[in-house]
Amino acid sequence: MKLLFTEEQEMMRKMVRDFAQTEIAPFVESMEEGEFPREIIKKMAELGLMGITIPEEYGGSNMDFTSYIIAINELSKVSATVGVILSVHTSVGTNPILYFGNEEQKRKYVPKLAAGEYLGAFCLTEPSAGSDAASLKTRAVKQGDQYIINGSKVFITNGGEADTYVVFASTNPEAGSKGISAFIVEKGTPGLIIGKDEDKMGLHGSRTVQLTFEDMVVPAENLLGEEGQGFKIAMANLDVGRIGIASQSLGIAEAALEAATEYAKERVQFGKPIAAQQGVGFKLADMATGVEAAKLLVYRAANLRALGLPCGKEASMAKLYASRTAVEVTTEAIQVFGGYGYTKDYPVERYFRDAKVTEIYEGTSEIQRIVISKQLIK
Ligand code: CAA
């Protein structure tokens, strides 16, 4: 399979690449210090990036899925923080409302999310329900025309910054995964308590918080889809979301490969550039091969999605492989830089820290293997 992109997709790549260089690169350091990139999000919204794949009638840019994946990839080469903010906002923050919301919900929320006026978040994971998402304990009880929700969530990307949260809670605990329902919860809802902001190893500019729901009152009209449909809503959107994380992983790996190659061409030891020493040259060759293979899997999954074909298995393969590549390539990039790579004077230590979580969030590598193997034996 040859990777061929349309003129429009190439234009998207160039536009986002230029944007990332001029508007994001200067702020990488402040994000590293923990600053949430509000201004960057505003500028991304002006370019239509907060609603790339959203249809025009709901205020989006109406572009194809591959263009979205290209955007995540280019953003992540410069800042994996910005990459994950956009990925979560789009694939699990906005799309569940677009695909499972009724017309009123779609009209109320999607245009604001697509315009970047609202930022989206997704609340599935709980302290004792991570990989085993169906075992969540958060409870939603219907009282008249409201649901009263109690429980807690952890590792919520964009939490505390988001305007809408897609929250998963059980409306029927006896029914297991079939008793889970999804709700749209607005920022400022009484009983929505923003908790600890996690002090993470990487992605320092992205916000990851704990949330507590204490008798949180959500109007019944904010139920997404039907009662009991929540787990399928979560899984269906994660299927696609994983391609975004795979693309983020690819972006990190590409950035690390580029930095290591440039450094290896300049750094002279034993009388010649280290790139010309076989030990380093072979390393670069393996890194480049991994990146290329990841690229094929990422764009293959994106292409299936763009054509509206089933892509769950391919999305998981792309995420599994690209995240592992990101960890391997960033580790090797540090090795190429030697002692300098272990300092904050060069970006490779950040790439390494940012890469690790791609093997964990939106389903660990072990979960991706479960998804892939279930599809194989189905
Ligand atoms: N699409 C639609 N429906 C699906 C589905 C999918 N991809 N996968 C499962 N389902 C349905 C099944 O068909 C089944 O329904 P039926 O009985 O009617 O067929 C139901 O859901 C239950 O399926 P399983 O028995 O397979 O479910 P399970 O409990 O064994 O779990 C799992 C499957 C794949 C392990 C799932 O729990 C999972 O993906 N876990 C990982 C959770 C995860 O990815 N969390 C990420 C949090 S979000 C995040 O990280 C965002 C961020 O901040 C960056």
Atom 46 (ligand 1): residue with closest C-alpha? 362
Q: Is the CB of 96 under 6 A from ligand 1?
A: no
pLDDT band at 299 (very low <50, low <70, confident <90, very high): very high
pLDDT at residue 146 in the model: 98
pLDDT band at 19 (very low <50, low <70, confident <90, very high): very high
Please choose, from the candidates 310, 314, 320, the residue with its C-alpha nearest in 3D space to the C-alpha of residue 366. Answer: 320
Atom 40 (ligand 1): residue with closest C-alpha? 131
The arithmetic mean of pLDDT across residues 54-60, rounded, is 98
Closest approach atom of ligand 1 to CA 87: 54
Closest approach atom of ligand 1 to CA 232: 3
Q: Is the CB of 231 under 6 A from ligand 1?
A: yes
Answer whether residue 2 shows pLDDT above 70: no
Other Cβ atoms less than 10 A from the Cβ of 47: the count is 16
Q: What is the pLDDT of residues 115-132, one digit of tens each?
A: 999 999 999 999 999 999
Answer whether residue 1 shows pLDDT above 70: no
Q: What is the pLDDT of residues 61-105, one digit of tens each?
A: 999 999 999 999 999 999 999 999 999 999 999 999 999 999 999
pLDDT at residue 4 in the model: 82
- What is the percent of the chain where pLDDT is above 90? 99
The best mutation among 181, 235, 238, 360 to test binding of ligand 1, ranked by most ligand atoms within 8 Å of the C-beta, falls on 235
CA-angle at 369, arms to 75 and 292, nearest 5° = 40
Cα of 235 to ligand 1 centre, how many Å? Answer: 4
Has 362 been annotated as catalytic? yes
The arithmetic mean of pLDDT across residues 211-228, rounded, is 98
Name residue 179's amino acid. G
Burial 338-367 (b: 16+ CB within 10 A, else e): eeebeeeebbbbbbbbbbbbbbbbbbbbeb
Cα of 231 to ligand 1 centre, how many Å? Answer: 7
Please choose, from the candidates 316, 312, 348, the residue with its C-alpha nearest in 3D space to the C-alpha of residue 246. Answer: 316
pLDDT band at 338 (very low <50, low <70, confident <90, very high): very high
pLDDT at residue 64 in the model: 96
Atom 50 (ligand 1): residue with closest C-alpha? 362
- What is the percent of the chain where pLDDT is above 70? 99
| Token code pair at residue 92 | 């699990």
pLDDT band at 30 (very low <50, low <70, confident <90, very high): very high
Residue 202, CB-side half-sphere exposure with 13 Å CA sphere: 25
SS3 state of residue 165:
strand
Cα of 372 to ligand 1 centre, how many Å? Answer: 12
pLDDT band at 3 (very low <50, low <70, confident <90, very high): low
Q: Of the listed 8, 23, 362, 366, which one is catalytic?
A: 362
The CA distance from 98 to 80, in Å, is 25
Cα of 234 to ligand 1 centre, how many Å? Answer: 7
The pLDDT mean for the chain works out to: 97
From residue 80, alpha-carbon distances to 191, 203, 340, 351 in Å are 32, 7, 21, 8
Q: Is the CB of 122 under 6 A from ligand 1?
A: yes
The CA distance from 281 to 272, in Å, is 12
The CA distance from 319 to 372, in Å, is 11
Cα of 321 to ligand 1 centre, how many Å? Answer: 20
Q: What is the pLDDT of residues 249-288, one digit of tens each?
A: 999 999 999 999 999 999 999 999 999 999 999 999 999 9
Q: What is the pLDDT of residues 130-179, one digit of tens each?
A: 999 999 999 999 999 999 999 999 999 999 999 999 999 999 999 999 99
